[in-house]
A and B are shown apart, each in its own frame.
Chain A
């Protein structure tokens, strides 16, 4: 294993551990904090893969905005604490399905790419991403901005109290 692979494995263990605690934690606020840890570890993995723009977008949007939004959701809904209140009765079936998914995806990835060439870690410039975003991918970009506008209006309409 190369140095990069050791670092990747360390970050991966942190991310997977935080994700496991997120789906098993009995306290919803702790779950949100474990989500922060998992998302930050994934951002560090983007940095390791030399995709710095995606890494900082991850930190800004996910760790900065989405987690705060989720915490607001938790606070506004008075979430209870305890295993029975947070988990349903399908834990065993869910664990079996998740293990099956992990085994299937892991085997596919290993089987298809085991002997292939490794990832060369070349720095990808933010300028190149911006150029492609506004030339090749300009239509999807506009569609996504329209989707954000629709989501904004939809969220306001949904969460507004009805005036009598």
Chain B
């Protein structure tokens, strides 16, 4: 038996660390890694609630699988964009790529 708030506090902390990484990192690949941390925190919550509700549809686990799939697609596209930016600008620091900034 595991009390639910323990899991929720853990995933909240993991999400917050991901938020810090997205805000504080310059390197685009490290930003992508921090986004993975945030997605993982959400997945922990989905699985925990699926087990807590004893859901006959196992919707929480199925949606965790969907989130993992979408994360894989996101990393593929994200890295393609990062490599394209590196090829054109010789840098992948997100604060130096500001052509579209108002």
Contacts and interface: CB of A to CB of B under 8 A. Distances in A.
B25 A87 contact: yes
Given A119-B7, A119-B48, A151-B73, A77 B29 contact: yes
Interface of A: 2, 4-5, 8-9, 12, 15-16, 19-20, 22-23, 28, 31-32, 35, 38-39, 42, 45-46, 48-51, 53-54, 57-58, 61-62, 65-66, 69-70, 72-74, 76-77, 79, 85-88, 90-91, 93-95, 97-99, 101-102, 104-106, 108-110, 113-114, 116-122, 124, 128-129, 132-133, 136-137, 140-141, 144, 147-148, 150-152, 154-155, 158-159
B33 A109 contact: no
B73 to A, nearest CB: 4
Interface of B: 1-21, 23-27, 29-30, 32-34, 36-37, 40, 43-44, 47-48, 50-52, 54, 57-59, 61-62, 64-66, 68-77, 79-84, 86, 92, 95
Contacts of B13: 16, 102, 105-106
Interface residues of chain B: helix, strand, loop or mixed (majority): helix
A49 B10 CA distance: 14
A119 B47 CA distance: 11
B51 A87 contact: no
Contacts of A8: 2, 6-7, 10
A69 B24 contact: no
B51 A122 contact: yes
A152 B36 CA distance: 19
Contact of A151 (B34, B57, B77): B77
Contacts of B27: 28, 79, 85-86
